[in-house]
Structures are given as C-alpha cells and as structure tokens.
Structure 1
Amino acid sequence: MKRILFPAACALTIAVTSCNNAGKQTSEADTAIGSENKAAMEPAANTLTEAEKTAGWKLLFNGSNLDGWRIFKGKESNTWGVVDGTLHCTGSSTDKSDMRGDLITNDQYENFELEADWKIAPQGNSGILYLVTEEFEASYMSGPEYQLIDDENFPEKLEDWQKSGANYAMNPPSKLAAKPVGEWNHTKIVVNKGHVEHWLNGEKVVDTEMWTDEWQKNKTTGKWKDYKGYGVAKKGHICVQDHGSEIWFKNFKIREL
C-alpha cells in the first residue's frame, strides 16, 4: 500500500504546488494589470480632461517650457526650468545671494480656484503666493502665501503659522496634512471675493475672510504690520517662491470664478 500511496501523495503535492504557483503568478499578473489599468485611467501630467476644459480650467504650466511665466519685476534668474515635465527650482547652498528670483504668471487673477501638485527637497521651504503685485520690492510684500515646507525636518523651529498649508503669518493650518518629503502633495487654493480656502491633500486646512476687522487685526499686530501693501490688492499674479530650496511642481491649473 505504501508503494501505491507514496507516488499518489507526491503527485498530489506536485499538483497542489503547481496550483499554488499558478495562483501566485495569476495574482501577480492581475496586480500588474491592475496597476497598468490604473495608470492608463489617470490623465497624463500637465493636461486637462474634456470635463475640466468644459468647467473652465486652464493650465498654468504646460510641462514643456515656461510659457506664461516670468521672473518677478524682470529680475535675472537662472534657477527656474523644466525637468522631466515638472516646473523645477534648483536648490542653492548660498540661498538668495546668487541668481535667484520668484516666478510669476504673466496674467493676473481676481476670483479663482487654483490647483497644483508639488514636492519639496529635505529641509526645504517655498510657497505659492496669490494676488501679487509688482509695486513693492518682493512678492510677499503684497501677496498672501500658501506655505510649502518640510514640516518634520526643517532646521529651525517652526511656528504653527509657518507649517505646510498655512496662510503664512496669518492663519495656521487646522491640521498637518503634508506627505513625507519626496512624495507628491496636492494643493488647492480658493479665492472668491475675499473668502479664502487652503486645501492640502484633500483636507481643508484654512478657511478665512480677507479685509474683515479680524483680518485687519491679524495683519497689524503680526508680521505684516509694517507692510501696508500686504493683502490689499484684489487682483494679482500667481507666484511660486524661490526661497533657495529645491522644489518641483506639476499639474498647475486655474479656473476663474
């Protein structure tokens, strides 16, 4: 009986092993196909779907060049460019002492919804500013800033109003929603007749009103007390800050409200 059962058991073992291997291979193949299908379903970077076009969205960055952008106040700069389909700012150990400059849109916007994906280098610091004018020496002297920073590893102590998603020096984020450094984050900014929302990775982290008594109090008792032009303009440029840190942007788009 043993001589009969032993080969049968071997055959059963081989069959089970083969089935398990086949199942594993099928599972791996299904996973790979699923990933490919997911990638195929996602729109290419720096493009708009037909639905977005119908809704009034426009690209601010085409993924190929800096058309539609220029350096703030026409300053010379060699830090902004396009790398692998991303809007890229080089990092610098000398921070702002070399050819650095903020990048602004040619066009100005009043009421809008803005979206962008970004990732920042370790210990990095940057920002997206809006309602920026060129009547002052620096972009931050007029435009409110959506803060982009390495919350976990920045070499200096950060106040809450300095953390990612904050309305810099005005409104701290209600929660920390940034992903770890090196991963892509998704930002949305809504500005509509003074009502401002900052979103980070699907979380609304700031909801505030400009030009109210509370806003004026925050301005005149904080960092902006000596900057009379801060937040005054009701229409201005979109700006990405060159703060000496390496940062990447893609899928920059805007819809006027």
Structure 2
Amino acid sequence: MKRFISSALILGVLAASTSAYAQSTPSLSKKEKKEGWVLLFDGKTTAGWKGFKKDEVPTSWKIEDGALFLDTDAKKAGATGGDIITAGEYENYELQIDWKISEGGNSGIIFGVQDDAKYGATYSTGPEMQVLDDDKHADGKIHKHNSGDLYDLIAAPARYTKPVGQWNTAKIIKKDGKLTLILNGKVTAETTMGTEEWTKLIAGSKFKTWNGFGAFSKGHIALQDHGNKVWYKNIKLRQL
C-alpha cells in the first residue's frame, strides 16, 4: 500500500525548520540598526574574534545552534583552549549578550582587556561580569563571586540568575567611566572607573597588587575559558 504525505504536513515541517534556523541566527531589528547596534557574532562563524595573544580562535570554541560554545570535551581530546576576545577595542558602549552555563560551570565576560604580551591573562587588566552556576560551583559560596557580580569588586543585591540550562541576558553599559551591570533586567553593580571609589574597590579586592588592572578606559571584550562548558549568543553592541 502506498502512503502519501500531505502537502500541509510538508509545509509544516519546512516552516518549523525555517523558524528554528531563524531563532538560531542572530539579527537586528530596524530600530536597533537605527540606534547603532551591531552584531559582534553572526551565529555562524567566529569572524571578529581571536584568541587572547593569538591570531586565531582556539579550536575548543565552536558554533552550536547559533551560539559560541566552549567544548571542553574537545579540549580534553587535544583541541586548543583559552579565552577569546573581540578583534576590535571599545571604550563607551552598551553590550548585550545571552549566556548559558553548564552544571557546576564557571566563565565570565571581561572588558577593557589589553591584548599585550606583558599581561598574562585577559583578567590581568579587564574587570569581569561573573558567569556561574551559583548553586554548584564553589565560587557561589564566595561574596562578590556570584553571577552578575562585578567579580571580587561589587556583589549583586540579589541572585537574578536563571536555573542552569536556561539562557540569561547580561548587559554591560560603560560611558565615560560610569559602569552599570545588568542581569536579566536587574541592575547588579554600578560604579565609576577611575574615581576614588574605584581605587578603593580595587584596594579591597584580590587585584590590589595587580599593576594595570581596571586601569584602561578602552580595550577588548573577552569570553572566558574557565574549563567548563558555556554558551554565548546574541552578542551585540552599540557605541555610546
């Protein structure tokens, strides 16, 4: 007996596939384009990114369903690892990025990074907005080390992170030194870089003896390889 597939069913499958592809491919609305937003990640390639102090993106960073994915299994099998940074440097901007962390995972969004041989890591110069499984990573028990915190400098007033496996939306707004961090629509930290308050924050942190930390108004934006699986997507920025 011959079986026939209805045209309605075929169209439904095609529509679902098209919809799924559209959801995995980042785009900007007409309003966003008018406001000056640009995509820092096209959802398909690593164009516009490089490894810290490297020419190429480490091979453990892959593209998965429209996201930048740190594949730690590949890393264990011999793929190269390390933080990745934007090819460009930025000073006054609003950055928006969606992230999802693995169970027990740790990562971070680091900014003001200097890609210079005299600095050993992205976080040698760049402050960090923490990305973490607050419940199952050890840092979740440390004050100023939770998701959304300005890492080791300012603690968020509450936990605004969604459960592991769900997407979170982070924003970093930086204008003339004034810094605002937002996680899932809630402000997690506010300060002004280069001020007496900023100096006191650093003096009370693990970075107090780090020459160059938080000292640069312009720099690269980095996504951290902390040895755990993490996903980043819908990465966009507008200069202020």
TM-score range, shorter chain: 0.7 to 0.9
Give the one of 184, 197, 205 matched to 1:201.
184
Residue matched to 1:89: 70
Normalising by the residue count of structure 1, what TM-score does the alignment of the two structures yield? 0.79
The alpha-carbon distance between structure 1 residues 47 and 157, as it changes in their structure 2 partners (threshold 3 A), is closer
Counterpart secondary structure, 1:161: coil
Paired position in structure 1 for 2:45: 65
Q: What CA distance in whole angstroms lies between the structure 1 residues aligned with 2:231 and 2:100?
A: 5
SS at 1:250's partner residue? strand
- List per-residue Cα deviations over 1:12-32 (Å, max 9, x = no partner): xxxxxxxxxxxxxxxxxxxxx
Q: Offset at 1:70?
A: 0.3
Residues 215 and 92 of structure 1, relative CA distance in 2, 3 Å threshold: farther
Q: Offset at 1:99? A: 2.7
Query: Which AA in structure 2 matches 1:247?
Result: V
The corresponding residue for 1:190 is: 173
Structure having the higher helix fraction is: 1
CA contact (8 A) 2:24 2:67 kept: no
Corresponding letter in the other structure for 2:45: N
- Cα distance in 1 for partners of 2:64, 2:73 equals 17
Q: Which AA in structure 1 matches 2:222?
A: C
Distance 1:176 1:221 in 2: 22
- How far off is 1:98 after superposition? 7.2
User: Match of 1:106, as an amino acid?
Assistant: A
Segments of 5+ residues of structure 1 without an aligned counterpart are 1-35
Counterpart among 211, 219, 224 of residue 228 in structure 1: 211
Q: Which string of whole-angstrom CA distances, capped at 9 and with x for unpartnered residues, describes residues 164-208 of structure 1? A: 001111111111100000001011110111111110111111111
Number of positions where the alignment pairs a residue of Structure 1 with one of Structure 2? 218
Name the residue aligned to 1:50. Answer: 30
What is the CA-CA distance between 1:224 and the residue it aligns to?
Answer: 0.4
Matched, 1:117 2:98: yes
Partner of 2:234: 251
The residue aligned with 2:11 is: none
Q: Distance in 1 between matches of 2:122 and 2:100?
A: 21
* Larger displacement relative to structure 2 (117-126 or 68-77): 68-77
On the 8 A contact 1:45/1:250 being kept in 2, the answer is: no
| d(CA) in 2 for partners of 1:128, 1:202 | 17
Give the 5 Å matches for 1:1-257: 45-74=25-54, 77-91=58-72, 99-135=80-116, 136-155=119-138, 158-257=141-240
SS at match of 1:162: coil
Q: Measure how far apart 1:87 and its partner are.
A: 0.8
Q: Distance in 1 between matches of 2:50 and 2:176?
A: 26
Aligned residues: CA RMSD: 2.3
Q: Percent identity?
A: 39
Listed as ranges, the gaps of 5+ residues in structure 2 are 1-15
Contact 2:49 / 2:87 at 8 angstroms: preserved in 1? yes
Label 1:92 to 1:43 Cα distance change in 2 as closer, same or farther (>3 A). Answer: closer
3-state DSSP of counterpart to 1:74: coil
Q: Offset at 1:209?
A: 1.3
Larger Rg: 1
Q: 1:165·1:199 contact (CA, 8 Å) conserved in 2?
A: yes
Q: Distance in 2 between matches of 1:43 and 1:93?
A: 26
What SS does the corresponding residue of 2:141 show, helix, strand or coil? coil
